[in-house]
């Protein structure tokens, strides 16, 4: 019988790419998610019955143990940007990661891959980065042979980074951002998935890998690249941090007083804190080169999914070509 991998958050942005790659490797794939009915799209990644979504609540031992039973490997892709509620930073990225690693060890799972983030730091400026660091420490304490992947901001068809700001660019002549000088090293989602698969297959030594793409640019620079791809002229305005702290506080309070009915999808105070430090691979860290992976450049991927934000959408290339035609 083929081997089995359990992927927590296997229908999410990164998890679905890992699930698809593991199915192509011939493994049975158990996709552990909170809402299995919303994850049915993963089933065609393999043959009938090869990829199956199952319910799991990572805040519950019995639920986690059930989806781990019989697995040869486990990948934890679960993460959150929610500071409050039941599925907050601590519950998901610290306690949830610890629970998965502890129970994986108890169930005799052979390999564990944990998706963290560049900037994970117990002394970091944001609660997000602190919880990521706590999760890493708990994982290594329970499962010393784990492979931990720390990607920079991830881009790809379903991303919430370039898609979000491309959509915002349609609203007016200005594109306001915070932390315009903060540097990022965007990484393609399928490259992260490839790294995770190497960890599952035992082709990566245990330890921490910092994953960044070949392009390093400031936040403002990335926005200008994105605007060039979608053929829109917008003035990228980097707002002062003190102004954005007021904005973030206001939206956080609005979310709090409405008990989350109006979630803060603009910018939170914690996200603003994250923007005070660069999000790039540190010098000397293990990364893609140590995994034998050549990371993908943004220019090779962004036009493939951001075209829909162009003024002419899918017809932009045709219109550009038509401009070169001579009048009869």
CA dist., res. 91 & res. 86, Å (int): 7
> Which residue bears the tokens 């220019």?
299
pLDDT at 21: 98
More confident residue, 319 or 107: 107
pLDDT at 261: 84
Half-sphere exposure of 8 (CA within 13 A, CB side): 31
> Which residue bears the tokens 């019989």?
70
Is the pLDDT assigned to residue 311 strictly greater than 60?
yes
Report percent pLDDT > 70 for the chain: 95
Domains assigned to the chain:
4-156+186-214+279-293 (3.40.50.720)
Q: Report residue 281 CA to chain centroid gap.
A: 16
Question: What average pLDDT does range 141-164 have in this prediction?
Answer: 97
Q: Report residue 11 CA to chain centroid gap.
A: 12
Show the DSSP H helices in 214-287 as ranges.
Answer: 219-229, 241-257, 269-274
The angle, 0 to 180 degrees and rounded to 10, between the axes of the packed helices 189-200 and 15-24 is 50
Question: What value does the mean pLDDT of the chain take?
Answer: 94
More confident residue, 1 or 15: 15
Which run of H or E residues covers position 237? strand 235-239
Is the pLDDT assigned to residue 174 strictly greater than 80?
yes
Q: Report residue 223 CA to chain centroid gap.
A: 18
pLDDT at 98: 98
Local confidence band at 325 (pLDDT 50, 70, 90 cut-offs)? low
**Per-residue pLDDT tens over the stretch 189-201:** 999 999 999 999 9
**Per-residue pLDDT tens over the stretch 44-98:** 999 999 999 999 999 999 999 999 999 999 999 999 988 878 889 999 999 999 9
Is the pLDDT assigned to residue 272 strictly greater than 70?
yes
Is the pLDDT assigned to residue 327 strictly greater than 70?
no
pLDDT at 126: 95
For strands 147-151 and 207-211, give the pairing. Answer: parallel
pLDDT at 265: 85
CA dist., res. 240 & res. 190, Å (int): 34
pLDDT at 1: 66
Local confidence band at 32 (pLDDT 50, 70, 90 cut-offs)? very high
DSSP code string of 199-234: HHTT-S-SEEEEE--S--EEHHHHHHHHHHHTT---
Which run of H or E residues covers position 6? strand 4-8
**Burial (0-12, 13-18, 19+ Cβ within 10 Å), 266:** middle
Which run of H or E residues covers position 147? strand 147-151
Is the pLDDT assigned to residue 101 strictly greater than 90?
yes
CA dist., res. 159 & res. 14, Å (int): 9
Question: Roughly how many angstroms between the first and final C-alpha of the chain, as a whole number?
Answer: 67
| pTM: predicted TM-score of the whole model, two decimal places | 0.93
Q: Report residue 262 CA to chain centroid gap.
A: 23
Is the pLDDT assigned to residue 42 strictly greater than 70?
yes
pLDDT at 313: 78
């Amino acid at each position: 019988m083929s081997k089995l991998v359990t992927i927590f958050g296997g229908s999410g942005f990164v998890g679905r790419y890992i699930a698809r790659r593991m199915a192509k490797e011939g493994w049975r794939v158990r996709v552990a998610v909170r809402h299995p009915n919303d994850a049915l799209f993963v089933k065609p990644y393999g043959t009938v019955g090869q990829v199956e979504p199952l319910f799991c609540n990572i805040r519950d031992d019995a639920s986690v143990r059930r989806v781990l039973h019989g697995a040869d490997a486990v990948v934890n892709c679960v993460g959150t940007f929610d500071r409050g509620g039941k599925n907050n930073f601590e519950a998901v990225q610290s306690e949830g990661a610890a629970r998965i690693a502890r129970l994986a060890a108890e169930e005799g799972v052979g390999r564990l891959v944990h998706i963290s983030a560049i900037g994970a730091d117990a002394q970091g400026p944001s609660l997000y980065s602190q919880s990521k660091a706590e999760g890493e420490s708990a994982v290594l304490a329970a499962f010393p042979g784990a492979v931990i992947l720390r990607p920079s901001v991830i881009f790809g068809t379903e991303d919430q980074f370039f898609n979000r700001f491309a959509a915002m660019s349609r609203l007016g002549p200005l594109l306001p951002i915070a932390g315009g000088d903060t540097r990022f090293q965007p990484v393609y989602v399928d490259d992260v998935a490839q790294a995770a698969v190497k960890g599952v297959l035992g082709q990566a030594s245990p330890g921490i890998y910092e994953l960044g793409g070949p392009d390093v640019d400031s936040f403002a620079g990335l926005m200008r690249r994105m605007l060039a791809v979608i053929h829109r002229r917008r003035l990228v305005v980097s707002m002062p941090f003190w102004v954005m702290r007021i904005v973030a506080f206001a939206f956080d309070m609005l979310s709090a007083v409405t008990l989350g009915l109006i979630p803060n999808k603009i910018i939170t105070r914690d996200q603003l804190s994250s923007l005070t430090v660069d999000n790039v691979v540190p010098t000397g860290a293990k990364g893609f080169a140590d995994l034998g992976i050549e990371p993908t450049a943004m220019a090779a991927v962004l036009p493939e999914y951001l075209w829909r934000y162009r003024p002419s959408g899918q017809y932009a290339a045709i219109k550009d070509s038509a401009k070169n035609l001579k009048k009869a």
